[in-house]
Structure 1
Amino acid sequence: TLAMIRQSGEEPHIIEYLKEPPTRDELVGLLRAMGLQPRELLRRKGTPYDELGLDNARWTDDELISL
């Protein structure tokens, strides 16, 4: 995917989010800019998503953002 972006003539700004996670405010801003709910951003495969029960409606958006 990165190669495809570069081939289009764009040079993306890469953020290593595992090394430098976004702040809560940055995350809220990104979600708002993308028009997504926190649950839509969660990775489901290869993660503890099911073990933590993150698909359960009891988790509020605020709680999911704070994880």
Structure 2
Amino acid sequence: MTLNEWEKENSKLKSMWVVSIMLFWFSVSFQTVLYIVDNRLNLILTSVIGGMLVIGIALKIKLQRHLAKKEGAK
């Protein structure tokens, strides 16, 4: 993998991770407001929150592994 390819992949992974984290926190905030207003959890939104958490963790692991490859990208 060339350095240019590595940088493109790094940029893509960072962008995807940031989007997943932003959507996670937006969903948590929205669920909190709904809970305060309605006093019950929306199970569909809760499952979306769980899914976004799993996606965020998976992307962070993939990003960390990708960063470890930087020395080999010359």
Calculate the TM-score normalised by the size of structure 2.
0.22
Calculate the TM-score normalised by the size of structure 1.
0.24
Higher relative contact order (CA 8 A, sep 6+): 2
